[in-house]
Amino acid sequence: MDKDKMSSTMIMLIIILMLHVVSCTDHLIIDTYCPDNFPFYTSNTSFHKNLKLLMETLSSNIAASNTSYFNNTSIGQGLDKVYGQALCRGDITNSTVCKECIEKASKDLMNRCKSEDAMVWYELCQVRYSFQMFFSDAVYTGKYPKQNDLEKRVSDPTSFQQVLTYLMNNLSNEAAFNPAKNMFATAEIEFSAKKERIYGLVECTKDVSETDCGSCLSSAVTELNACCSYREGGIIVSRNCNVRFDLFQFFNASSAASLLIFPTSKGGKWKPWMYVLTICGSISILAVLIGLCTACRRQKNDRDKDEERSERMLFQELSSPKNVAITQEGELISSDQLLFMTLATIKAGTDDFSNTNKLGQGGFGAVYKGVLPDGNEIAVKRLSKKSWQGIEEFKNEIILIAKLQHKNLVKLLGCVLEGEEKILVYEFMSNRSLDQFIFDPNKRPKLDWKTCYGIIGGIARGLLYLHEESRLKIIHRDLKPNNVLLDHELVAKISDFGMARMFSENQNTANTKRVVGTHGYMAPEYAMEGLFSVKSDVFSFGVIMLEIISGKRNGGFYLTELAPTLLAYAWKLWNEGKGLEFADPILLESCLDYESEVLRCIHIGLLCVQEDPQHRPTMSNVVVLLGSESMVLPQPRQPAFSSGKMIRVDPSASTNCSLNDSIWSNISPR
């Protein structure tokens, strides 16, 4: 009797446990996106409050909606505005289930991530928020959740892969181009003699266009093939779409169970309209559609060969639009603002990277001169395979610089990502980089003071744009004469954003464990403690300014024992009232009328390289000071050149440094 009771309790317990497991897997977290090169918000700011409110609004909006559980909303004004989007998997028909998933996911996201742009994927839903408007923007950054590694291998990968590809392609086309599916499709297919089945699911967020959905899915399916086509399950998630397959029915298909049949090699299952649908589906322009359909009809006879071809074509059509690329690491990136070029174009334009076209060689790889088919000259930065600049920096640079437009920033025209090749294509700068001008005894005499002054002003304005004139503060972190390019009119343009980092409006300092940059130009607090801010860029700017004026390098400068660095030398002469001795005599010849301007520039340079970042001016101060002769400059303090001495920088202090900053407070550009 007791035994019976026992066993029934046991059974009950087991059932409860199983239910628990089931409900846990319901809320399975798949992946999160929490980038650290975006700004982080601080607690209790209005951004944070808006974000919390947004999360609540999203889940209640979702519950209110009726058919498909998708919503986008924004809350707040101006800089504190937050945009959010939530989506429940297409087979969820119970609003309570959807709402609970969104609530859990958003809570989780808030706990895990303080970035101003973040996303989380759960098994049954996904939530994203951002400080920037992203609705209807299709940006593919596919993610490969670690759980894929846990999947067992299948016994016959070759045939499995064929069947899987067929299934996922069919689903992608259905979801993207069949309006009745509303961007969501599931199906199953048999893959073995034992009648085992693969279950597939694909889905897009409802805010993107059919074409964007199609190319997102095709990118994701390409990745799924690469990672998982020999496994018993796989999943790839991206901002606008996700794809998944498994050997069990993981979705609710009671509504419209669709069993696909893998076409036999005879190709009898392929009807002409399928070609039309598969090929034309991915092309949005009607003219192209008509043209292709005619072509399809003509090829009807050669059906056996075409069967293979059309599938391949569909794949290529979808997975290589001009703004999507796959990296060697299998990662996909895409951007609306950037043009992906083909390796063939660049090879043709640079004589296959011939030595005669080589402009220079850096730590990252070589730079070549080239021409585009339209005749425009370009500079091609080919990252070496063992380059320290990894895929992260590469992505960082292209996404960042593609968004930046300023007269004093070098323009990125496009990039190449093919196989192991990572290539950046810039507008060509006929006068190369600043270091080749100021440190070259032959070219140096060509620089008169007016030109130098123009270059200094150009760098200052480019940096001001990065620091203050966009929504984000961008810290360059590796400013040096090699990274300042000169165009045919000797206008300075800042380049090389591989190390750049974005800050939010109210963020002032960040810390990094990985100090990257160039000695001689790095501010002491950055070089020694990894602390960087706009003021560390100001320091680098100051060094460049003093180098331009003196014609000497800060590194490699051993003039006297008393002045081991250029900064120490400048400081010494300045204090002895012999500032003009610091300037390059060649430069002085051209500027007899401008001696006061030269002295003023040395003065500003010394202000920029002061040891305490809080004493350094901001770039807007610098731009104003450069443009005005009458404004009185504060006395500079000792620059940072005695490497033994370190000052502590309190990250929180930089916001309330009114006392120190007061000297700069009434100086800002109009």
Ligand X SMILES: *[C@@H]1O[C@H](CO)[C@@H](O)[C@H](O)[C@H]1NC(C)=O
Q: Catalytic residue positions? A: 478
Tell me the closest approach of the beta carbon of residue 363 to ligand X, in angstroms. Answer: 41
Touching ligand X, residues 128-157 (CB under 6 A): 135-136
Identify which of residues 18 and 344 has a Cβ nearer to ligand X in the complex: 18
46 binds ligand X (CB under 6 A): no
Binding-site member from 50, 141, 173, 319 for ligand X (CB under 6 A)? 173
301 binds ligand X (CB under 6 A): no
Question: Can you tell me the distance from the alpha carbon of 112 to that of 133, in angstroms, rounded to the nearest whole number?
Answer: 22
Q: Which of 395, 423, 428, 416 is nearest to 339 (CA)?
A: 416
Identify which of residues 42 and 668 has a Cβ nearer to ligand X in the complex: 42
Question: Can you tell me the distance from the alpha carbon of 80 to that of 542, in angstroms, rounded to the nearest whole number?
Answer: 33
110 binds ligand X (CB under 6 A): no
DSSP 590-648: TTGGGHHHHHHHHHHHHHHTBSSGGGSPPHHHHHHHHH-SSSPPPPPPPBS--TT----
Tell me the closest approach of the beta carbon of residue 95 to ligand X, in angstroms. Answer: 7
Tell me the closest approach of the beta carbon of residue 356 to ligand X, in angstroms. Answer: 50
Residue 71 — left, alpha, or beta (φ > 0 → left; ψ -120 to 50 → alpha)?
Answer: beta
* 138, 176 Cβ separation under 8 angstroms: no
Torsion of CA 263, 266, 272, 273, to 10 degrees: -10
254 binds ligand X (CB under 6 A): yes
Q: Considering only the stretches 12-20, 91-99, 339-347, 350-358, report the one whose residues sit in contact with ligand X under the rule CB under 6 A.
A: 91-99
Identify which of residues 293 and 599 has a Cβ nearer to ligand X in the complex: 293
Q: Considering only the stretches 120-128, 270-278, 299-307, 329-337, report the one whose residues sit in contact with ligand X under the rule CB under 6 A.
A: 270-278
25 binds ligand X (CB under 6 A): no
3-state secondary structure of 243: strand
Identify which of residues 7 and 132 has a Cβ nearer to ligand X in the complex: 132
232 binds ligand X (CB under 6 A): no
Q: Considering only the stretches 272-280, 420-428, 477-485, 627-635, report the one whose residues sit in contact with ligand X under the rule CB under 6 A.
A: 272-280
Q: Which of 426, 529, 423 is nearest to 483 (CA)?
A: 426
DSSP label of 521 = T
Using CB under 6 A, count the residues that bind ligand X.
28
Q: Considering only the stretches 250-258, 317-325, 598-606, 654-662, report the one whose residues sit in contact with ligand X under the rule CB under 6 A.
A: 250-258
CA atoms within 13 A on the CB side of 483: 25
207 binds ligand X (CB under 6 A): yes
170 binds ligand X (CB under 6 A): yes
Tell me the closest approach of the beta carbon of residue 260 to ligand X, in angstroms. Answer: 5
188 binds ligand X (CB under 6 A): no
74 binds ligand X (CB under 6 A): yes
381 is in an annotated binding site: yes
Identify which of residues 71 and 610 has a Cβ nearer to ligand X in the complex: 71
- Residues in Cβ contact with 60 at an 8 Å cutoff, skipping those fewer than 6 apart: 99
Q: Which of 224, 222, 158, 169 is nearest to 191 (CA)?
A: 158
- Which residue type occupies 29? I
Question: Can you tell me the distance from the alpha carbon of 346 to that of 368, in angstroms, rounded to the nearest whole number?
Answer: 10
Tell me the closest approach of the beta carbon of residue 25 to ligand X, in angstroms. Answer: 13
Across the strands, what pairs with 511?
531
Question: Can you tell me the distance from the alpha carbon of 298 to that of 294, in angstroms, rounded to the nearest whole number?
Answer: 6
Identify which of residues 65 and 506 has a Cβ nearer to ligand X in the complex: 65
Question: Can you tell me the distance from the alpha carbon of 56 to that of 84, in angstroms, rounded to the nearest whole number?
Answer: 11
The residues binding ligand X (CB under 6 A) are 43-44, 61, 64-66, 70-74, 93-94, 96-97, 135-136, 170, 173-174, 207, 252, 254-255, 260, 274, 277-278
Residues that constitute the known binding site:
381
Residues that constitute the known binding site for ATP:
381
